[in-house]
Amino acid sequence: MIAISTDHKRIGLNLALTSLFYFLLGGLFALLMRAQLTEPNNTLLSNSRYDELFTMHGSTMIYLFVTPMALALALYLVPLQIGARTISGPRVALAGFWIFFCGGLVMQSGWMTSSGPGQDGWTSYTPLSNGTYTPGVGQDLWVIGVILAALGQLLIAGCITVTVARRRAPGMTVLRMPVFTWTALVSVLMVVAAFPVLIVALVLLYLDRHGANIFTGFTGAIDYEDLFWFFGHPVVYVMFFPYLGCAAEAVAVNAHKRWFGYTAFVASMMLFSVLSMSVWGHHMFVTGGITNPYFAFTSTLLLVPAGIEYFDLVGTLVGGSITLRCSMLFGLTFFIQFLIGGTTGIFVASPVLDYNVYGSYFVVAHFHYTLFAGSIFGFFAGVYHWFPKVTGARLREGIGRVHFVLLAIGTNMTFLPMFFLGEDGMPRRVARYRKHPGWATLNRIETAGAGVIALAIVVFLTNVVVSLRRRSLAGNDPWHGHTLEWTTSSPPPALNFEQPLPPVRSYAPLLDLREQAEDEATRRAAPAEAPA
Amino acid sequence: MRSGALPLLCWAALLALSGALNAVWAGASIQTATFGAGVFAIVLFAAAVLLRPQRAGPEAVTRASFATVIVAIGFATLMFGFSFGHFIIYLGVGLMVAGVGRLLLELRHQRRARSQR
């Protein structure tokens, strides 16, 4: 029943658990790569095995963990936040999950072939990925696995889009939707707009590999990159926005304040998401095949909506009554870590600077600060915030703090030295590097950091097991939440809400009720105090 | 206008604007085509939201669908067959046909349950 349920919460949980499994698998690939890079000229892995590992690490993390996990959160939470009893198209969402699940299996099944799995990076650029330079069934399985995974996610995103558009509770106008719902909505719009282009690009790549000669010559390679990056850059933001929503909800609830500047935030999300659909060419500055000024202009414009979000964060914190629970710690750190990724993004948004750092570890550091630090801290903010709603039990705060400290230390130990290596000219995607002053030390620090991240994940999993076995019951609303999901039981019933919903007059309806009750209490107390 | 379509249409309009700027500035036909495809996909969803009538009254909610899972696995098997062995394509097609047949039965039951209320 669990596997065939059309309940959005069950599908969301299944998707989240599958994604989490792939996170552990992708992490294992990363640890192997880091082990190889501990020493210069290390012989632990062959060149081709290293190629396979970095390809499958990137592909597993992007296609099978970060993006589907963002959709899983949206699938579980959005109907609850907008007061819907079900999602639109539950069968489509179920089909989406299973197609995604099978896509992951197909992609990983390449490990069992004699040619090995995909080995051309998560981008699979042509002509490297064509049938001449990468023959073998493993790369075909990679292509088909990615097509299936993307199609599954596209179907789920379509269901969430229609649910938001058609199933909002009475009073829940679009400008009263919670912050997380808005971040999820713009993400699924990007999936709907961009993922079909990836599917088309990979179908063409499959045909090209089997003799159709579609992406031939310089123009063909540029065309493939154009099609791929039209998906490839927006997906970076699909992997960011929902986690931003998690962090924003956690920060607002733990600051006991409304999210500051809601309308500006909504406008900035619209602008941010559309701009992020328009900047993909900055991945292609060095090709000479695109109009660099347009993409440099749009990439730099991203600073405006990003700045609004940070302004809103500060506005929410100022004057708030701040509780430093784990969800708050992860939420705040999400913003700090992403700031490093964002500010170093200014370098790669400028063609002149990008020419210098392209293909170096600087780029690896930048995108891990945006994709890893920018998603994982928001993800854990969401996990600590909504775990009681999903399971009925709270996660242990003490173990959570150990998890937080280890993850923060491990993340910065692993990715900060990459900036210095990149600036010093160490190229990315190499299994062996020459002896060079400082490189071995920095690489050893990174490897140790990857181990600390792994330890942090073990601590988190321990926390989950301990918290589920020896439950500290959460009740409906353990944090005094702001949004509708906190009105229902934990975990929510099959059709989400058994009691009538409270009136929705803003994006924080439960906070409205509490403030109204406080106002009434103050008013009642006032005449009694007057004679004294 | 159903307000749910509004954010979709606004978003599509902004994307079209950015695409127009790209067309004028860069003038690359493949880039204009990708922008156009993105806008078209969102407008399609907005049109579905606007044009599909909202059902009034009780709704028959499906709790589980084995048929859907069979169709999805059948489709994935079919795709897997393209690279791994063509006999698997036939297996995938068989699963899909069986799944669609059962899905039609499920939908009929659901329609009947709705009309009985």
pLDDT digit string, tens, across residues A78-110: 999 999 999 999 999 999 999 999 999 999 999
pLDDT in tens, A373-383: 989 999 999 99
Q: State the smallest CA–CA distance between residue B68 and chain A in angstroms.
A: 6
pLDDT over 60 (residue A180): yes
Quote the CA–CA distance of A243 and A238 in Å, as a whole number.
9
Residues 16-55 of B with CB under 8 A from A: 18-19, 21-22, 25-28, 30-31, 34-35, 37-39, 41-42, 45-46, 48-49, 54
Quote the CA–CA distance of A74 and A94 in Å, as a whole number.
14
Overall average pLDDT of the A296-322 stretch = 95
Inspect the interface and report whether the beta carbons of B80 and A106 lie closer than 8 Å: yes
pLDDT at A529: 60
pLDDT over 50 (residue A505): yes
Instruction: HSE, CB side, 13 Å, CA atoms: give it for residue A461.
Output: 11
pLDDT at B112: 86
Q: How confident is the model at residue A226 (pLDDT cuts 50, 70, 90)?
A: very high
Overall average pLDDT of the A291-315 stretch = 95
pLDDT at A531: 57
Chain A, nearest residue to B69 by Cα: A95
Percent composition of chain A: helix, strand, coil (DSSP 3-state, to 5): 70, 0, 25
Q: State the smallest CA–CA distance between residue A98 and chain B in angstroms.
A: 6
**Which of A45-54, A224-233, B77-86 is predicted least confidently?**
B77-86
Q: How confident is the model at residue B33 (pLDDT cuts 50, 70, 90)?
A: very high
pLDDT over 90 (residue A241): yes
Q: For the CA atoms of A306, A309, A315, A321, what is the dihedral angle to 10 degrees?
A: -130
What does the H/E/C string look like for A498-510? CCCCCCCCCCCHH
**Looking at the complex, does the CB of residue A207 fall below 8 Å from at least one CB of chain B?**
no
Mutate to test the interface with A, among B3, B32, B34, B69 (most CBs of A within 10 A): B34
pLDDT at A100: 98
Quote the CA–CA distance of A29 and A72 in Å, as a whole number.
23
Quote the CA–CA distance of A261 and A507 in Å, as a whole number.
12
pLDDT over 50 (residue B4): yes
At A234, is the secondary structure helix, strand, or coil?
helix
Q: Burial, A272: exposed, middle or buried (Cβ in 10 Å; 0-12, 13-18, 19+)?
A: buried
Residues 6+ apart with CB under 8 A from A145: A63, A103, A104, A105, A106, A107, A108, A109, A110
Overall average pLDDT of the A159-174 stretch = 95
Q: How confident is the model at residue A530 (pLDDT cuts 50, 70, 90)?
A: low
Overall average pLDDT of the A190-208 stretch = 97
**Burial letters for A245-255: b for 16+ Cβ neighbours within 10 Å, e otherwise?**
bbbbbbbbbbb
Q: How confident is the model at residue B57 (pLDDT cuts 50, 70, 90)?
A: confident
pLDDT at A460: 98
Inspect the interface and report whether the beta carbons of B79 and A144 lie closer than 8 Å: yes
What is the percent of chain A with per-residue pLDDT over 70, rounded to a whole number? Answer: 99
Q: Which residues of B touch A196 (CB under 8 A)?
A: 37, 41
Q: Burial, A195: exposed, middle or buried (Cβ in 10 Å; 0-12, 13-18, 19+)?
A: buried
Q: Tokens 């309009």: give the residue.
A: B13
DSSP A216: -
pLDDT at B1: 47
ipTM: 0.95
Q: State the smallest CA–CA distance between residue A459 and chain B in angstroms.
A: 35
Residues 56-115 of B with CB under 8 A from A: 59, 61-66, 68-69, 71-73, 75-77, 79-80, 82-84, 103
Quote the CA–CA distance of A142 and A175 in Å, as a whole number.
41
User: Nearest Cα to A139, choosing from A55, A60, A213, A198?
Assistant: A55
Q: Tokens 């609850």: give the residue.
A: A80
pLDDT at B51: 87
Query: Are A141 and A110 a contacting pair, CB within 8 Å?
Result: yes
* Residue of B30, B39, B71 lying closest to A226 (CB–CB): B30
pLDDT at A528: 61
Q: How confident is the model at residue A146 (pLDDT cuts 50, 70, 90)?
A: very high
**Which of A244-253, A425-434, A522-531 is predicted least confidently?**
A522-531
Quote the CA–CA distance of A491 and A476 in Å, as a whole number.
8
Q: Indicate the average pLDDT of chain B.
A: 91
Inspect the interface and report whether the beta carbons of B68 and A140 lie closer than 8 Å: no
Q: Which residues of A touch B3 (CB under 8 A)?
A: 173-174
- Reported in sequence order, the residue ranges of A37-82 that DSSP labels E, i.e. its strands, are none
Residues 284-303 of A with CB under 8 A from B: 290-291, 293-294, 298
User: Nearest Cα to A464, choosing from A407, A526, A391?
Assistant: A391
Rg (alpha carbons) of chain B, rounded to whole number: 21
Name the residue with higher pLDDT: A3 or B84: A3
pLDDT over 70 (residue B117): no
User: Nearest Cα to B41, choosing from A123, A231, A98?
Assistant: A231
